[in-house]
């Protein structure tokens, strides 16, 4: 991708659709918006195969983890779905960010590893068995798609946390895994996928939740890892105990820290839940991004229009639907404004 500022989105569910047509409809609408990148779950872990009566997005899984080992699902309800997303993204001129594991229990995540291999949410990052299985999955995905022009970046995980741990645990893990990914594919970028928590050592903020290191993340230390190409951070004041105007402060702090380290940064997720007005709360954040040096932002999340699967089954309270008035403001208009920023 040429050096430029751009807007993107999240559609975690895209590779969990069984219909090629629904994938095409969704990606075509993203491209028409002016989005350049879309973040899609590159994981789908389970301890047992889902029941046959399950419907999208709960009918697809990428690997089974149990006490006997890990088993990749290469079938039509497995990685063939991700295959089509990668193919279609290239067709529509979109780039993908693919995280390899979820911190949360949705679609397996670290919880699926802990259930199968007796590590915990905190020891996952250092447990030899869990890390061996995780690295095998990373290798499977990276080697499968490393020649694709549709890949924007590999992401170590979605919102990794190690609550109560020294921040060195995740920093060491991120160093080792990003180095491993680069040994498999030196042509694509790698990022961590974290929420952007600061630690006391960073000297940023007031020491409250987002700045105290309680989740075992030091954003500045992680950004300095040589084999991580850019930093990401997320923004959900409502979930973290902050007011919405604080969101612009959070953006400015990450922009300043990234400039100090000398690496790009992206606001990778941001949203406000119903019944809050999306435009009223998120437009000021977008204005702050436009004034900053951040490379991009990716709103959470895209809602399609006209798919055979009910969009409500793919959505959460932060979703903004294609064709709505708020989508025009926060999607189409913002993407156009980002594309016009001078490099």
159 burial (CB, 10 Å; 0-12 / 13-18 / 19+) is buried
| pLDDT score, position 133 | 98
Residue 269 annotated as catalytic: yes
The Cα 72–Cα 65 span in angstroms is 9
pLDDT at residue 28, rounded to an integer: 99
Q: List the pLDDT tens digit at each of the 343 positions of the chain.
A: 456 899 999 999 999 999 999 999 999 999 999 999 999 999 999 999 988 767 778 889 999 999 999 999 999 999 999 999 999 999 999 999 999 999 999 999 999 999 999 999 999 999 999 999 999 999 999 999 999 999 999 999 999 999 999 999 999 999 999 999 999 999 999 999 999 999 999 999 999 999 999 999 999 999 999 999 999 999 999 999 999 999 999 999 999 999 999 999 999 999 998 778 999 999 999 999 999 999 999 999 999 999 998 888 888 889 999 999 999 999 999 999 999 998 7
Measured CA to CA in angstroms, residue 64 lies from 68, 122, 273 at distances of: 10, 21, 32
Distance between CA 90 and CA 321 in Å, rounded? 23
Q: CATH assignment of 6-339? A: 3.20.20.80
Query: What SS3 state is found at 312?
Result: helix
Burial of 185 (0-12, 13-18, 19+ CB in 10 A): middle
- The pLDDT assigned to 275 comes to 76
Res 316: pLDDT: 87
Annotated catalytic residue within 195, 268, 269, 282: 269
Report CA 55 to chain centroid distance, whole Å: 23
pLDDT of residue 141: 99
Q: How confident is the model over 91-143, as pLDDT tens digits?
A: 999 999 999 999 999 999 999 999 999 999 999 999 999 999 999 999 999 99
Contact 45, 107 (CB under 8 A): yes
Q: What is the DSSP string of 67-86?
A: TTEEEE--STTTHHHHHHHH
pLDDT at 3: 61
Which of the residues 155, 159, 215, 282 is marked catalytic? 159
């Amino acid at each position: 991708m040429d050096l430029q500022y751009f807007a993107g989105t999240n559609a975690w569910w895209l590779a969990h659709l069984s219909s090629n047509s629904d994938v095409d409809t969704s990606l075509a609408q993203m491209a028409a918006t002016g989005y350049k990148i879309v973040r899609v779950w590159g994981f789908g872990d389970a301890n047992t195969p889902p029941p046959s009566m399950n419907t999208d997005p709960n009918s697809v899984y990428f690997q089974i983890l149990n006490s006997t080992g890990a088993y990749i699902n290469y079938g039509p309800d497995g990685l063939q779905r991700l295959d089509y997303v990668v193919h279609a993204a290239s067709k529509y001129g979109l780039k993908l960010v693919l995280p390899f594991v979820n911190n949360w229990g949705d679609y397996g995540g670290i919880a699926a590893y802990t259930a199968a291999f007796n590590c915990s949410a905190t020891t996952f990052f250092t447990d030899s068995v869990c890390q061996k299985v995780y690295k095998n999955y990373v290798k499977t995905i990276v080697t499968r798609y490393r020649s694709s022009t549709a890949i924007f970046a590999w992401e170590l995980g979605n919102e990794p946390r190690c609550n109560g741990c020294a921040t060195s645990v995740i920093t060491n893990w991120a160093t080792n895994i990003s180095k491993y990914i680069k040994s498999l594919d030196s042509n694509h970028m790698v990022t961590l996928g974290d929420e952007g928590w600061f630690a006391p050592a960073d000297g940023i903020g007031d020491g409250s939740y987002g700045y105290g290191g309680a989740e075992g993340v030091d954003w500045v230390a992680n950004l300095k890892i040589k084999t991580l190409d850019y930093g990401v951070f997320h923004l959900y004041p409502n979930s973290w105990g902050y007011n919405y105007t604080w969101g612009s402060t959070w953006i400015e702090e990450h922009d300043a820290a990234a400039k100090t380290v000398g690496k790009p940064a992206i606001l990778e997720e941001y949203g406000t839940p119903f019944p809050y007005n999306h435009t009223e709360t998120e437009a000021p954040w977008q204005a702050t991004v436009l004034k900053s040096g951040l490379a991009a932002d990716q709103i959470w999340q895209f809602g399609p229009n006209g798919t055979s699967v009910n969009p409500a089954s793919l959505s959460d309270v932060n979703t903004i639907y294609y064709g709505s008035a708020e989508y025009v403001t926060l999607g189409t208009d913002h993407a156009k404004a980002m594309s016009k920023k001078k490099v």
